[in-house]
A and B are shown apart, each in its own frame.
Chain A
Amino acid sequence: MQLVDRLLKGDKRAAAKIISMIEDRDAQAQKVVSLLRPHTGKAHIIGLTGPPGAGKSTLISALVREFRSRGKRVGVIAVDPTSPFTGGALLGDRVRMTDVGMDDGVYIRSMATRGHVGGLALATYDAVKVLEAMGMEKVFVETAGAGQSEVEVANLAHTTVIVEMPGSGDSIQILKAGILEIGDVYTVNKADEGGAESMVTNLKSVLPEDREGWAPPVLTTVASEGKGVPELADRLEEHFSYLKKSGRLGEKERIRSEVELRDALTETMLEKLTTSKGGKKLYEDVLDKVASRKLDPHTAAKRLLSGKTG
């Protein structure tokens, strides 16, 4: 396929078109992604998550600059939420990334969640593969501004960075389960504002000193001035080498593969059910029965899979 050949040569336009096909669930999308598969698996995937306004986009922009100066090709996928009411979205992360957008070795794509919860879009997984296949060595994924429980990015990324800001939580907020547990590296951004030190202390007090051979570091950054960014980049590299040396990289790949396999399985089963002869009608009948409380969803699912409505 011509589009794939162009992508493998690093053509940004081809990357853009393929990502749109994936997002729009184009009939060709699955085939294209399967052609990319042999060209993936080498890049370091880095997820950044944290509350809205913590400075994730600005920090990514600074990290892109840092890794470019180290000779790496860098891809970015920046996710923002889709309106549940209109289906529209305002994707504004590029505003903070304009200075790196023109660089030949950088590709940035904004992506709307399109109804997917968890901080990512469904298409993010495959879009990462597109960026890998075009030769990006570092792939950053910025989640939609996250609350407490959007932990999905940790399944996708090799290294998850939690971006916090001063004053965004006392010690009890930090003790809560969820997003604060998934980080491999933590940074308190906007550290030039007051209260950064106590945020660092609070974070350090709850983080494990050793998590299977890795102690999650807590850094401070001022992304807008580039302060602390080289140190952050160093920690990201260290974490990636740790994953490789410890064998954790293989485990991470397995976790991600399982998420992808489950999604594919659900999709394939639904497609098979609803496109087979009489399948659509059967599906609708069973759905009606569940809605009118004649059937519970679990029994309904079993019947659909066995092909009998009963």
Chain B
Amino acid sequence: MAKKIRVLIAKPGLDGHDRGAKVIARALRDAGMEVIYTGLRQTPRDIVEAAIQEDVDAIGLSCLSGAHMTLFPEVVKLLKQKGADEIVVAGGGIIPEEDIPKLKKAGIKAVFGPGTRLEDVVKFFEHAAGK
């Protein structure tokens, strides 16, 4: 049996806007992936622990509170600490253009803002899982 792609979709931080995260979760599900959805208000530690227990290939983070510059790199850092940095991290939400290079430098492999095509998101995660 072929290896299934498993992706964790998580919402770090305190905003309650999970529509985007749910749209992405559904698109990945419809592309044949197993999507673990962990819900609102997760700390980076919660997210990394869940990612390890669920043995995911990648994590998609959604943040609309403006705290992405703190929260996204923290997830990457904790993964590294746990020796799980083969797990690919991507982010989305309301992210100012000028933050994107900084996030990429911090190890966020892709940043998806409003208007991103779902096919591109699906392709990114397929690629991240080595398919």
* Contacts from A to B (Cβ < 8 Å): 12-13, 15-17, 19-20, 23-25, 82-83, 86-92, 94-95, 98, 101-102, 107-110, 112, 114
Instruction: Decide if B52 touches A88 in the complex (CB within 8 Å).
Output: no
Besides A89-B35, A94-B39, 15 more A-B contacts (Cβ < 8 Å) are A12-B53, A13-B84, A15-B53, A17-B55, A20-B3, A20-B6, A86-B29, A88-B30, A90-B26, A94-B37, A95-B39, A101-B46, A108-B50, A112-B4, A112-B34
B residues 25-69 near A (Cβ < 8 Å) are 25-26, 28-39, 42, 45-46, 49-50, 52-55
Instruction: Decide if A90 touches B35 in the complex (CB within 8 Å).
Output: yes
**Whole-angstrom CA separation of A29 from B108 in the bound complex:** 33
Interface of A, secondary structure class, is mixed
B34: chain A residues at CB < 8 Å are 82, 88-89, 91, 110, 112
A19: chain B residues at CB < 8 Å are 55
Q: How far is the CB of B30 from chain A (nearest CB, A)?
A: 5
* Contacts from B to A (Cβ < 8 Å): 1-4, 6, 25-26, 28-39, 42, 45-46, 49-50, 52-55, 82-84
- Contacts A16-B54, A19-B55, A24-B1 hold; do A102 and B30 have CB atoms under 8 A apart? no
A102: chain B residues at CB < 8 Å are 45-46, 49
**Whole-angstrom CA separation of A114 from B53 in the bound complex:** 19
Instruction: Decide if A98 touches B45 in the complex (CB within 8 Å).
Output: no
- Listed by A's residue number, 14 A-B pairs whose Cβ atoms lie within 8 Å are A16-B53, A24-B3, A83-B30, A86-B29, A87-B4, A87-B32, A88-B31, A92-B37, A92-B39, A94-B50, A95-B39, A101-B50, A102-B49, A112-B4
Task: Name the residue of chain B whose CB is nearest to the CB of A20.
Answer: B55
A110: chain B residues at CB < 8 Å are 34, 36, 54
Q: How far is the CB of B59 from chain A (nearest CB, A)?
A: 13
Q: How far is the CB of B40 from chain A (nearest CB, A)?
A: 8
A92: chain B residues at CB < 8 Å are 36-37, 39
Picked from B29, B50, B55, the residue with its CB within 8 Å of the CB of A83 is B29
Instruction: Decide if A101 touches B49 in the complex (CB within 8 Å).
Output: yes
B2: chain A residues at CB < 8 Å are 24
Most central of B42, B52, B53, B82 by chain A CB within 10 Å = B53
**Whole-angstrom CA separation of A87 from B34 in the bound complex:** 8
Q: How far is the CB of B120 from chain A (nearest CB, A)?
A: 18
**Whole-angstrom CA separation of A25 from B2 in the bound complex:** 8
**Whole-angstrom CA separation of A1 from B131 in the bound complex:** 27
- Contacts A24-B2, A86-B30, A101-B46 hold; do A91 and B52 have CB atoms under 8 A apart? no
Q: How far is the CB of A60 from chain B (nearest CB, A)?
A: 15
**Whole-angstrom CA separation of A102 from B43 in the bound complex:** 11
**Whole-angstrom CA separation of A13 from B53 in the bound complex:** 6
A98: chain B residues at CB < 8 Å are 38-39, 42, 46
- Contacts A16-B54, A98-B46 hold; do A23 and B37 have CB atoms under 8 A apart? no
